[in-house]
Chain A
Amino acid sequence: MSGSDPHALESRLISTGVERLALLGKHAETLMAGYACDEVPLEGLSTTALNRLLAARILWRPDEHSGVKLAPKVRELIAEMLADETRRHVNADVAETLELVRTLVQSYREARDAGEYWRQEQQLLRLRQEVDDLNGRFADAIDSLWRRLNSDFGFVSRLGDKIRENERAQKQIVRLLDGLELIKFDELIELVGSDGALRKLLVSGLQQQLTHHYTSLREVQRRLIELMARFRQQQARSRLVAGMVGFLREHPNFVPGNYALRSQVPELINRAAPIMPAGAVALDHDADARLVAELIHHLPRPASRPEPVTAAGAAELPEDTRVTARQQALREDVEGFYLAVVDHDGEALSALAYLQESDLEWDPEIWLFQVIADYQGLPGSEQRAFRLRQVETQASPFNHLYLIHDVQLQLALLPA
């Protein structure tokens, strides 16, 4: 083989390549229409242009009667450029590349031994391109996998499709990992022998890149499995809820067992009753006095000042005499209760017990009201002579409403 022929071949390849690449740009819209649909629309495409596209293997015609379609490689190229995950292919055919690498290494050796430097250079260049392609295919595949993962498979909308896409991606990873397994560095070391350039390309360089791919693939695999678990959980939840709703509709009277009565109460239903922690200002801690004083200072003022108790006496309301008389009788009976307390020598008396014992007919609620009202209506000095205790319970754990059941009244022991 003479030295000038390969050069001429090279330049002819380059000029044809430029011409054909230009076809892609020139017919970009038609080609993209073909990418989006099944067939390439032929309107607006001259016969010459069509023939050129067919000759460049950009388009092809499966048979005489069918329409013109994009060549698979062109479709792949576009999908790759658009990162179109619905059509992007993962292809890392390692076996074939390895076969090619072996062949190229053989030719490289022969050229080297024959002292054909130009051919040697050409073989090394092709080897480098093959290794770059292999790397590029792994890198593209990994990029495609990450994109799908990070978008939660956003290019399909239904959960079922997401699950299928995830399964597909996981299978691709397995194939890619299998491909990586095929590359045996022992074999490559033997193949390159002592040649420095080959060693750098096929052993040290490749090993570093493949290790990187391997780590990425394992990571993306782990994440895909996690995402799959989440998809499956979501799907299981929807099905469970739909199933339970359906069941409850069909069996409106369904009541599950009372799990609280089992000897082993299931974890899930053991939920302790709430406790409302309450606190009050403590005045026995001098250090807090300033803070308490400040807090009191900032308490909102009541919207209106309470009327003095004496001014709110029931007798001042215009009422008919019968009601007034009853009111008067009630007050007299309550007064009797107060006198009984005084006679009781400092022992507490229950207002309700007194009501019952004295055979009085007042409604207990009205009675308690009047006992409390009388106590609050007493002048300060007399009020101090009595101690009134309300027997009450909290209405609900969620608020501070207290219900008074009874009041206990006793004579306070006056300080000596």
Chain B
Amino acid sequence: MIEQGPLLERLLAGDFICAVSDEAAFRHLQDESIREQIDAYLRPLNRRLATNTDGTVYFLAWLRLDEAAREQLSRQLGDTVGSLMPMLEWLQWVQEALGRDGLAGPGDVLKPADFSSRCEDHQGLRERLERLASDPFFGSQSDQLDAQLKQVFKRLKEHGYLQQPHADRQYYVVTGKIDYLIDLVRFIRDEENLPIEDQAPTQQSLL
């Protein structure tokens, strides 16, 4: 169990473990016997391993839910729901800034410098970044483009949505926590019966 020490520490600290954030640990977690060992270790701490719909991220869940745990979960859910709009708008902004037709997903590399040059060429993107950065979730006080970008990336890194492989190099990798966020959006849509369609209208099959 000692070799899983660093992984346990990260899990206990509330980190999401995915193939991007910690490849070796994520591989370990694919092994059912290791998952069982970890669960056995976590039992006295009233915690257990949990994963998202597609099994692309692991995190810790409460084993038994008492009053305090439910209260913590309510608070946490409130925070996540509060961050939903800025996070989703950020995803759309990235998609448009990079001229892609898909959202950024785990493993995608994002460089603030790229966004900086796109914003300089494109007033619309610049204005949207300005609005995003000043959202309390990102909390930028600056009116400088680069400072806003820096703050946005910093907050996303703090929240575990981005990983910075080298502290002195300005590029970031999207982590599997994005998958979790998307799963949560889908969950809320399904639970609340929101009129949001995610499947393309079925096409007439070609003859």
- Contacting B at CB under 8 A, from A270-329, are 270-277
Q: Which residues of A have CB within 8 Å of B40?
A: none
CB-contact partner of B14 in A234, A238, A242, A271, under 8 A: A271
The number of chain A residues touching the other chain, given as a range, is 35 or more
Asked whether B196 lies within 8 Å of A244 as measured between CB atoms, the reply is: yes
Let me know if B85 is at the binding interface, CB within 8 A: yes
Residue from B73, B183, B197 in contact with A271 in the complex, judged by beta carbons closer than 8 Å: B73
Which of B46, B182, B191 is close to A257, meaning CB atoms less than 8 Å apart?
Answer: B191
The answer to whether A239 and B183 have CB atoms under 8 Å apart is no
Interface residues of B in 35-92 (CB under 8 A from A): 45-47, 50, 52-53, 59-62, 65, 69-74, 76-77, 80-81, 84-85, 88-89, 91-92
A413 at the A/B interface (Cβ < 8 Å)?
no
**Which of A241, A259, A267 contacts B182, CB < 8 Å?**
A241
Q: Given the complex of chains A and B, what is the CA–CA distance between A275 and B60 in angstroms?
A: 11
B88 pairs with A239, CB closer than 8 A:
no
Which residues in B have their C-beta under 8 angstroms from that of A240?
182, 185-186, 189, 196, 198
Q: A243 in the interface, Cβ–Cβ < 8 Å?
A: yes
- Cα A396 to Cα B58 in complex, Å, equals 24
CA of A261 to CA of B13 in the docked complex: distance in angstroms?
Answer: 24
Cα–Cα distance between A158 and B46 once the two chains are bound (Å) = 48
Instruction: Establish whether residues A235 and B89, one from each chain, have CB atoms under 8 Å apart when the complex forms.
Output: no
* Complex alpha-carbon distance, A256 and B82, angstroms: 11
* A266 on interface, CB distance cutoff 8 Å: yes
A226 touches B (CB below 8 Å): no
Do residues A235 and B191 form an inter-chain contact, with CB atoms below 8 A? no
Q: Is A1 an interface residue (CB 8 A)?
A: no
Tell me, in angstroms, the Cα distance from A158 to B9 when the chains sit together: 43
* Cα of A276 to Cα of B200 in the assembled complex, Å: 45
Question: B147 — which chain A residues lie within 8 A by C-beta?
Answer: none
Q: In the complex, what residues of B have CB within 8 A of residue A160's CB?
A: 101, 200
Q: Are A271 and B76 in contact (CB under 8 A)?
A: yes
Contacts of A244 in B (CB 8 A): 84, 88, 185, 188-189, 194, 196
A223 interfacial contact with B, CB 8 Å: no
The answer to whether A9 has its CB under 8 Å from any CB of chain B is: no
> Is B200 within 8 A of A235, CB to CB?
yes
Task: Give every chain B residue within 8 A of A236 (Cβ-Cβ).
Answer: 198-199
Q: Which A residues are CB-close (under 8 A) to B52?
A: 268
Docked complex Cα distance between A167 and B203 (Å): 11
A245 touches which one: B71, B85, B200 (CB < 8 A)? B85
Judge whether A255 is part of the interface by a CB distance below 8 angstroms.
yes
A390 to B126, CA, bound (A): 51
Q: How far is the CB of B178 from chain A (nearest CB, A)?
A: 9
Chain B interfacial positions (CB closer than 8 Å to A):
9, 12-14, 45-47, 50, 52-53, 59-62, 65, 69-74, 76-77, 80-81, 84-85, 88-89, 91-92, 95, 101-103, 105, 180, 182-189, 191-192, 194-200, 203, 206
- Among all A-B residue pairs, the 8 with the closest Cβ atoms: A274-B14, A243-B196, A260-B73, A234-B102, A270-B61, A240-B198, A236-B198, A260-B74
Instruction: Name 9 A/B residue pairs within 8 A (Cβ), A-sorted.
Output: A158-B101, A238-B103, A241-B88, A241-B91, A243-B189, A245-B88, A256-B191, A272-B46, A277-B12
